[in-house]
Amino acid sequence: MIQNKSPLKVDLRSDTVTQPTPAMRAAMLAAPVGDDVFGDDPSVQALQARMADITGKEAALFMPSGTQSNLCALLAHCERGDEYIVGQLAHTYRYEGGGAAVLGSIQPQPLTQGATGEMQLADIEAAIKPDDPHFARTRLLCLENTWNGHPMTLAYLAQATDRARAHGLATHLDGARLFNAAVATPEAGADACAAARRIASYFDSVSVCFSKGLGAPVGSALCGSQALIARALRWRKMLGGGMRQSGLLAAAATYALEHHLDRLADDHALAQRLAQGLAGLNGVTVRSAQTNIVFIDVAHGQGPALLAHLAQHGVLATGLIGLRFVTHLDVNEAGIDYALACIHEFFQAHAGATPHAQATGPAVY
Ligand SMILES: *Cc1c(COP(=O)(O)O)cnc(C)c1O
């Protein structure tokens, strides 16, 4: 029997909930800073140079959030009346407030995605409009990797971006979890940075989050050509993203790149531990368990009850019918085992209901 007042708190809502470690905080405190709007912050400059190098692009720009980074990318690639091809469930289309349409007059052309996030090549091709005044100008293909935790194969990335380029489209990757993809794509190479560069090589621009699995408190980077980043800098300023002594934040991101890259594999192992602990449990179907994200399906109406039960025991997750659990640097094996015990306890008390297969995932943050 699990104690009601548990000493454990296991927050599996997202990999954004991590606390900066003492060593990361020390790196932030020690960071040399300047006014980055004047281009004077050495810690921001160093991070940008490192990210350009890692992703194999000419330049990089530190951003307050992944949303602003993706938005600046879309605004830098597209003009008013252009359109971009994007997954129906992609973050830039679905979870960023429609910013590209609101602020850029950029029309999204959303396409259906398969269970692991890929749009079919034939659908991409069919969505590219001819040069005709009836149509918006199709300008950009936007992919997301990982998508709901799924890493995409290099073959798919190559084929999709080749197809786009053949029609004169630019390509952007929402790589909020690029490094999770890198660590989980052995064909891209054993070194996480080299693998990230390989994935990025298919795209004109890549956005990467430091505030997800890397464990930094704030920030993303947009990486691309000098010309693209110059346009993105103007948009970032307009969007209010010009920051001053932001080297404090950049130092945390640099620390994460130096110390938290290879440990992403530990998060992936924890997700597998969770999925394996749920396998065969009556009432639960593990829908997917890739990289650091586990989705489960439960019976209609049971999701909120399970979430409430877990919360009562200090275990936090998100979802409704499909529940999402995300592993990260502030979770360990004991925490996962405890979460498993809480889930098992719930289903011992609520046996017999059949999980409801769900077509779309819960909100992704
Ligand atoms: C988190 C995330 C973003 C950006 O989110 P912010 O909260 O704005 O930093 C973009 N794309 C994906 C796929 C994400 O998971």
User: Which atom of ligand 1 lies at the shortest distance from residue 67's CA?
Assistant: 8
Q: Is any ligand 1 atom within 6 A of the Cβ of residue 218?
A: no
C-alpha of residue 7 to centroid of ligand 1, in Å: 31
Token pair belonging to 162: 């080749």
State how far the alpha carbon of 363 is from the alpha carbons of 88, 166, 221, 288, in Å: 13, 34, 23, 15
Read off the pTM.
Answer: 0.95
Alpha-carbon distance of 94 to 364, in angstroms, equals 9
Q: Is 241 exposed, middle or buried (0-12, 13-18, 19+ CB in 10 A)?
A: buried
User: Which atom of ligand 1 lies at the shortest distance from residue 364's CA?
Assistant: 15
Give Dmax (Cα) for the chain: 68
C-alpha of residue 209 to centroid of ligand 1, in Å: 7
Q: For 133, what's the count of Cα atoms within 13 Å in the CB-facing half-sphere?
A: 0
C-alpha of residue 241 to centroid of ligand 1, in Å: 16
C-alpha of residue 285 to centroid of ligand 1, in Å: 26
Q: Which residue has the tokens 């470690």?
A: 21
C-alpha of residue 206 to centroid of ligand 1, in Å: 13
Amino acid at 51: M
Q: Is any ligand 1 atom within 6 A of the Cβ of residue 66?
A: yes
Q: Which residue has the tokens 């996480």?
A: 192
pLDDT (tens place) for every residue of the chain, 365 residues total: 555 555 689 999 999 999 999 999 999 999 999 999 999 999 999 999 999 999 999 999 999 999 999 999 999 999 999 999 999 999 999 999 999 999 999 999 999 999 999 999 999 999 999 999 999 999 999 999 999 999 999 999 999 999 999 999 999 999 999 999 999 999 998 999 999 999 999 999 999 999 999 999 999 999 999 999 999 999 999 999 999 999 999 999 999 999 999 999 999 999 999 999 999 899 999 999 999 999 999 988 899 999 999 999 999 999 977 899 999 999 999 999 999 999 999 999 887 667 766 545 544 55
Closest residue by Cα to atom 5, ligand 1, is 66
C-alpha of residue 96 to centroid of ligand 1, in Å: 8
Q: What DSSP string runs through 137-194?
A: EEEEEEEESSBTTBPPPHHHHHHHHHHHHHTT-EEEEEETTHHHHHHT-GGG-SSHHH
User: Which atom of ligand 1 lies at the shortest distance from residue 174's CA?
Assistant: 11
Say if CB 258 and CB 51 are below 8 A apart: no
User: Which atom of ligand 1 lies at the shortest distance from residue 65's CA?
Assistant: 9
Domains in the chain, ordered, with CATH? 22-258 (3.40.640.10), 263-349 (3.90.1150.10)
Going by C-alpha positions, the residue among 365, 331, 364 that lies closest to residue 10 is 331
Q: Which residue has the tokens 């592993």?
A: 327
C-alpha of residue 176 to centroid of ligand 1, in Å: 6
Alpha-carbon distance of 39 to 66, in angstroms, equals 21
Token pair belonging to 142: 């936007």
Say if CB 220 and CB 63 are below 8 A apart: yes
Q: Where are the beta strands (DSSP E) in the chain?
A: 10-11, 59-63, 82-87, 107-111, 137-144, 170-175, 205-209, 220-224, 285-290, 293-297, 315-316, 318-319, 322-326
Q: What is the pLDDT of residue 359?
A: 46
Q: Is 12 helix (H, G, I), strand (E, B) or coil?
A: coil
Q: Is any ligand 1 atom within 6 A of the Cβ of residue 65?
A: yes
Q: What is the pLDDT of residue 365?
A: 53
